[in-house]
Amino acid sequence: MGEANPGGAVDHATERDIRPAPVKLEVNGTSHTFAVEPRTTLLEALREGLGLTGTKKGCDRGECGACTVHVDGRRVLSCMTLAAMQEGKQITTIEGLEQDGELHPVQEAFIEHDGFQCGFCTSGQVMSGVAVIDEAKAGWPSAATADVRKPFTVAGLSNTEIRERMSGNLCRCACYPNIVAAVAEAAEKG
């Protein structure tokens, strides 16, 4: 049985009861199996379990976007996602964007437009930028879309649209104009 806590409720899950369990993650096209505690976040599994440190730990509560990765092609905040729940899903981190030595067009545009200063938020910004373009290609409107009854296209990615869609990613250095320009250029090219 569990232990009583000061409020009188019974605590059924104590530290000694939480045991690591194996989880198989498909990350950047490679399968990895390792043990994680049930409460381990995807961010912790990527950084500490797999050594993929491109995904950053910023606020650790889903507010800054530095930990953005893609799960099955959709952007998620890895600090708010449990690793054990990602078994069987395709996870892409910043390390997985380049293919055969070629940078992703969004990565190239960030370099071209100097979309970073300190660089801490850059991986999350790039991952969100890729997702913004994919979401626009899929026809998803945003809160800034003027008429959600009409199909949305990449051509509709104005600066206002990009700012709205990237609003979950914060930059302490305030490189927002350069980030918007980078996403806009990558969208035009691709």
- pLDDT tens digit string along 23-34? 999 999 999 999
Residues with pLDDT less than 50, the chain:
1-2
Question: Does an H or E element contain 32, and which?
Answer: strand 30-36
Check residue 39 and give its pLDDT: 95
- The residues, any chain, with a CB within 8 Å of residue 81's CB and separated by 6 or more, are 41, 42, 43, 71
Check residue 18 and give its pLDDT: 81
Check residue 8 and give its pLDDT: 58
Check residue 6 and give its pLDDT: 56
Sort 65 into a burial class: Cβ within 10 Å, 0-12 / 13-18 / 19+: buried
CA angle (159 as vertex; 149, 129 as ends), nearest 5 = 90
* Secondary structure letter of residue 28 according to DSSP: T
Check residue 1 and give its pLDDT: 47
Chain mean position to CA 101: 22
Q: Are 55 and 47 in contact (CB under 8 A)?
A: yes
Check residue 15 and give its pLDDT: 60
